[in-house]
Amino acid sequence: MTDHDIHKDEAISQITGSVDEADRADGAKTDDPDRELSYEEIQGKWYREVYQGDKVPQLTLRAVIMGGILGSLMSVSNLYTTIKLGWAFGVAITACVLSFVIWRAFRLVIPGLSQMTILENNCMQSTASAAGYSTGTTIATAFGAYLLITGKQIGWEIVSIWTLVTALVGVLLAVPMKRQMINKEQLKFPSGLAAAETLKSLYGGSKEAVIQAYSLVAALVVGGLTGIAGKGDFAWQKAIGFKLPEMIPFAFQFQGMNMANFRGFAFEPSLLLIAAGMIVGMRVSLSMLLGALILYVGFGPWLVNTGVIPNGGKIISGWALWTGSGILVSSGLTAFALQWKTIVRTFSTVGKMKGDSAADDTIAGMESVEVPTKWFLIGMVPLTIILAILEYLAFNISIPLGIFSVVMSFFLALVASRSTGETDITPTGAMGKIAQLTFAFLSPKDITINLMAASVTANTAIASADLLTDLKSGYLLGANARKQFFAQVVGVFFGTAAIVPAWYLMIPNKETLESYNPPATNLYKAVAEALSHGIQSLPISAQYGLMIGIGIGFVLACCDHFFPKSKKFLPSAMGLGLSWVMYFNAALGFAIGAIIAWLWKKVNEKNAENYTIPVASGAIAGESLACAFIAIVNALEALNKVPK
C-alpha cells in the first residue's frame, strides 16, 4: 500500500492553524532553564495541570456509539479508496467534526439534550479511528491479492477473525509505546495534535472552526451526490436525468491507433480524485500526470506497435505495473533505510519501557490513568496463539512462523510508531514490503505465506502507529488513557462488523476486483509473485522495466534525502510509481485537484488554508461512501438474479 500520509503535515497546518498551545504538556523545562524536568516531574505536572479525565465525562455510551457508527462508515469509505486509489485517509479529524455537527443537530431537535464534552468527543475519536482505520489494511491488500492470484474468496469466518484479532493486537501494541513515545519522549504525533487543536477550536466557539466543520459536511453531501450521479443507475436517476458519464475518453489518432482504446485514457468526473489531489499536493500529483503521459502517449503506443502488448487496454496490468512497482518498492525501502537514526533511536529505547511503567506507578493517581503493562502481556498471549492457529488452519503456515509473524509485529510497530510520532508519515508501504521480504527469506517460493503471514505483521504495526495519534490527542486534552484503550477495543468490533460484509458485497469475485485495477492490491500481489516465483518468471521486457523502476526509485529517494532542496526540481518517486500502476484518469484527477488548491491559495491564501482540507476531506468521504453503497447494491442485485 502506498504511504497515504504524504504531505499530511501541510494538510494539518491548513486545517488547524498554529498548534503551539498544544505543547502545554510538553514543557520539559523548569523555571531554571539549566535543569530539565525528570520523567516523574513531567508526568506529575501533567497529572496536576492537564489531566481532567476524572472530572469530565469521557467513556460514555453515546460517545462510543457515535464513534462506532462514524468509524464503521469511515472503514467502508477507506476500503473503497484503498481499492480504487491505493490510499486510506485519516479518520480522526473528520470523525471529530462530523460528531460535533451531528450532536449539535440532535440538540436542536431534542430539548434538554446535553452537549457532548470535549473528552467524550475525543473518546468518540478513539472509537472511530480503531473502527475506521485499523481494520481495513489486511482486507484490501493481502486478501485482495490472494483473490487475484487464486481466483477464490477466503471464507468470511476466517476473514472476520483475522481482521478482528490483528486489529486487537495493534491496539495492545500501542500500550507500551504510549508510555515511552508520548509520556516520556513527548513525540509530537502531528495528526493527534491537530485533532486536539480542532476539538479545542470547536468547543471554544471559534467561528472559523465552526464554518470549517459545516464546510466539511456540505462537501460530504456534494461528494455523495457526485458519486451517485457518476456510478448510480437507479430508476429515479434515469427519470430525471441525474447521471454523469463514468468516463469521457480522449479519442484521437496517435501513431496509427485510436487512443480511446487504451483503458482509462479519459477524464473521470469524480470529486474523489480531485479532492485527493487537493490533499496530496502539487509535487506528487503533477509527477503522477507526467508519468501517466509518458506511459500513455509514449511507451504505450510503442509497446503496442512493437507487439510487446497485444491489447492496448492491458497496458497497466500487462507491463507497466512492474516498472511502477519497482519505483514504489525501491523508493519506499530506500527512504526507510535512510531513516537509520530513527531506527537506532527506536531500538535504543526498548529496554527502557519497563522502567517507564514502574515510574508511572510511583506518580500519585497515574496508576488509574495508564493502561497497566500486564494487560499488554495478558492480551498478547492468547491473541498470538489464536493468530498462529488460524494461520496454520487457514493457510498451512507453520505454528513457529505464525508466532514469529506476531513477534515481528512488535518491532515493526516500534519503527512505524516512531516515524509517525516524529514526522507524521507512517511508512505503510515499507512496513508491508519488509514483512514480505522477511517471509520470502524464511519460506521461499511459498506465495501464500508471503501474503498472509506478512499481512499480520504489517497490519498490526500500522494499526498501532495510527492509534497512538489518538492517544496523543487524549494526552494533550487531559484524557484518561485507560478509557481511550477501552474505546479503541470497542471500535475494533464495530469496524470488523462493518468492513467484512462490505468487502464481500463490494468485491464478490476476482473479475469485480480486477475492474478497479486496485493499485495497492496489485502492488502487494506483484511483490509476492516476484519474491515467490523469481523475476525470471516475468517477460523479459517486464524484467527490464522492473530493474529500471528499482533504479529510478533508489535515485529519487536518495536525492530527496541528501539534497532536499532538489525536491522542487525533481519528480516524486511515489507520484511516478503510482502513475504506472493506476490508470490515466486517476492521475489527471489528482493533477486537477492539486492545481485547484494551488490557484485557490494564490487567490486567497488564508481562505485556502482554512477550507481546502475540510472541503477535500468531506468530498472524499461523501463520494467514497456513495460509491461503496452503489457497489454493494449492484452486487446484491446481481446475486438476486442468479438462478436458484
Q: Using CA atoms, how far apart are residues 568 and 566, in angstroms rounded to an integer?
A: 5
The 10 Å CB-count burial string (b at 16+, else e) for 105-141 is eeeeeeeeeeebbbbbbbbbbbbbbbbbbbbbbbbbb
CB atoms within 10 A of CB 186: 18
The 10 Å CB-count burial string (b at 16+, else e) for 539-565 is eebbeebbeebbebbbebbebbeeeee
DSSP state of 307: T
What are the φ/ψ torsions at residue 563 (nearest 5 degrees)? -130, 70
**Predicted confidence (pLDDT) per residue in 545-569, tens digit:** 889 999 999 999 899 889 988 888 8
Whether pLDDT at 31 is above 60: no
Q: 168 with 174: CB under 8 angstroms?
A: no
User: By mean pLDDT, which of 210-219, 347-356, 421-430 is the weakest?
Assistant: 347-356
Beta bridge partners, 248, equal 267
Q: 466 with 40: CB under 8 angstroms?
A: no
Beta bridge partners, 167, equal none
Average confidence (pLDDT) over 531-548: 81
In single-letter form, the type of residue at position 197 comes to E
Residues 6+ apart with CB under 8 A from 228: 234, 237, 242, 626, 630
Q: Using CA atoms, how far apart are residues 163 and 49, in angstroms rounded to an integer?
A: 39
Q: Which residue has the cell 510538553?
A: 26
Query: What is the domain partition of the chain in residue ranges?
Result: 8-239+359-517+622-637, 245-333+525-594
**What is the dihedral sign for C-alpha 169, 473, 179, 120?**
negative
Coil vs helix vs strand at 398: coil
Q: Using CA atoms, how far apart are residues 464 and 182, in angstroms rounded to an integer?
A: 13
What confidence tier does 311 reach under pLDDT thresholds 50, 70, 90? low
Q: 617 with 198: CB under 8 angstroms?
A: no
Q: Using CA atoms, how far apart are residues 597 and 115, in angstroms rounded to an integer?
A: 35
Closest by CA to 219, choosing from 629, 622, 597, 601, is: 622
Closest by CA to 477, choosing from 15, 16, 20, 46, is: 46
Report residue 427 as a C-alpha cell: 511508512
Residues 6+ apart with CB under 8 A from 115: 103, 107
**For position 35, what pLDDT does the model report?**
59
What confidence tier does 354 reach under pLDDT thresholds 50, 70, 90? low
Average confidence (pLDDT) over 306-327: 72
Q: Using CA atoms, how far apart are residues 11 and 443, in angstroms rounded to an integer?
A: 41
Angle between helices 61-85 and 271-280 (to 10 degrees): 100
Across all residues in the chain, what is the average pLDDT? 83
Closest by CA to 597, choosing from 284, 356, 310, is: 284
Angle between helices 92-109 and 118-132 (to 10 degrees): 130
Q: Which helix (H) or strand (E) holds 311?
A: none
**Predicted confidence (pLDDT) per residue in 460-496, tens digit:** 877 888 888 889 999 999 999 999 999 999 999 999 9
Beta bridge partners, 253, equal 258
Average confidence (pLDDT) over 61-76: 94
Query: Do you know the residue count of the chain?
Result: 644
Q: 502 with 388: CB under 8 angstroms?
A: no
DSSP state of 253: E
Instruction: Write the Ramachandran bin of 11: left for phi over 0, alpha for psi from -120 to 50, otherwise beta.
Output: alpha
What confidence tier does 198 reach under pLDDT thresholds 50, 70, 90? confident
Q: Using CA atoms, how far apart are residues 261 and 250, in angstroms rounded to an integer?
A: 9
The 10 Å CB-count burial string (b at 16+, else e) for 360-395 is beebeebeebbbbbeebeebbeebbebbbebbeebb
Q: Using CA atoms, how far apart are residues 256 and 500, in angstroms rounded to an integer?
A: 47
What confidence tier does 25 reach under pLDDT thresholds 50, 70, 90? very low
**Predicted confidence (pLDDT) per residue in 405-423, tens digit:** 888 888 888 877 887 887 6
Residues 6+ apart with CB under 8 A from 562: none
**pLDDT, greater one: 329 or 550:** 550
User: By mean pLDDT, which of 100-109, 160-169, 239-248 is the weakest?
Assistant: 239-248
